[in-house]
Structure 1
Amino acid sequence: MIQIQYPQSDFSIKEQGDKAFIFDTIRKIWVTLTPEEWVRQNFLNYLVKEKKYPASLIAIEQEIWLTDKKKRFDIAIYKNNVPWMLIECKEMKVSLSTSIIDQILSYQQILKTDYLVITNGNQSFCWDTMNGKALDDLPEYHS
């Protein structure tokens, strides 16, 4: 398991009616602040501020086709114009079970990234798909 120290956040949050929204600085849009979105935004904040991953090479909730079904992955980090890392986020109360691993592995069939990450904000796991091993930290991003 990866130990993550999330940086102090400076999120912009607003309320409209009975819904809360958070400004996604990567996509430059307001999105509904769900429990899963809270985890995603904190993890993105960590990737950019602590790990120094380039924000311009991060894709969020992009569609992919799995056979005849349209799906959306949570986060992909690109390197050399191809997906390098795939991240699946779940809300904090969701256990990181084998069904989550199956989900990210199904996306991996299409994207073929070097690294896979699953997180619920409290627990995070990373696998190096090239060497078939779990890591105790996210890899450094070197361009």
Structure 2
Amino acid sequence: MEKLNLPEFSCKITENEGKTFVFDILRKKNIVLTPEEWVRQHLVHLLIHHLSFGPGLIKLESGLKYESLDKRSDILIYDRQAKPYFLIECKAPDVAITQKTLAQVSRYNKTLKAPFIAVSNGKSTFCFEVDYQNDITKQMKGFPAVPV
């Protein structure tokens, strides 16, 4: 897999019936290793091991409703009151982060109402704070703090 602009981590990769799998430490099982999954796994390890987000507050591929459609959020972090806190949309490294990509995570967040959102392709990561009272979304210089 391609080198990303995220911290490297020790991962368990296996092959089975011609497919490559990576062990997911949150779901505690092997997941098919796609380029998007490679980015998701790097972000999970960054969140837990470098930014100190508790693994019990992180949910991967969580179902959500947007308009009448069933969608899945890539990474959703909850605060200590079990409210959505930080929504992250992952893209494959060869997918450019564009306004369309940012619009996708914003649409998903209309349902969740997390105060922080991000989009990453592993090469570029953009984090935003959402101010619902003033209807403003502003880009941040880094990741949000761990919820208290």
TM superposition score normalised by structure 2: 0.90
Shift of 1:75: 0.3
- Structure 2: any 5+ residue segments left out of the alignment? none
Q: Percent identity?
A: 32
Alignment partners' CA distance in 1, 2:16 and 2:72: 26
- Aligned residue pairs: how many? 140
**Residues in 1 aligned to 2:67 and 2:92: alpha-carbon distance in whole angstroms:** 27
The aligned runs of 1:1-143 (5 Å cut-off) are 6-79=6-79, 80-130=81-131, 132-143=137-148
Stretches of structure 1 that go unaligned for 5 or more consecutive residues are: none
1:129 maps to a residue whose letter is V
What is the DSSP-based 3-state SS (H/G/I as helix, E as strand, rest coil) of the residue aligned with 1:85? strand
- Give the superposed CA RMSD: 1.4
Q: Whole-Å Cα distance in 2 between the matches of residues 23 and 97 of structure 1?
A: 30
State the 4+ residue runs in structure 1 displaced beyond 2 angstroms: 4-8
Query: Shift in Å at residue 99 of structure 1?
Result: 1.5
Counterpart residue identity of residue 138, structure 1: F
Q: Structure 1 residue 128: deviation in Å?
A: 0.6
Query: Matched residue of 2:142: which SS?
Result: coil
Per chain length, whose mean CA-contact separation is higher, i.e. which structure has more relative contact order (CA < 8 Å, sep 6+)?
A: 1
Provide the rounded CA distance (Å) in 2 between the counterparts of 1:92 and 1:33. 13
CA distance in 1, matches of 2:147, 2:111: 24
What whole-Å deviation, never above 9, does each CA across 1:35-82 have from its counterpart, x for those lacking one? Answer: 000000001111111100111100100111112211001000100210
What TM-score, normalized by structure 1, do the two folds share? 0.93
- Looking at structure 1, the residues matched to 48 and 5 of structure 2 have their Cα atoms a distance apart, in angstroms, of 13
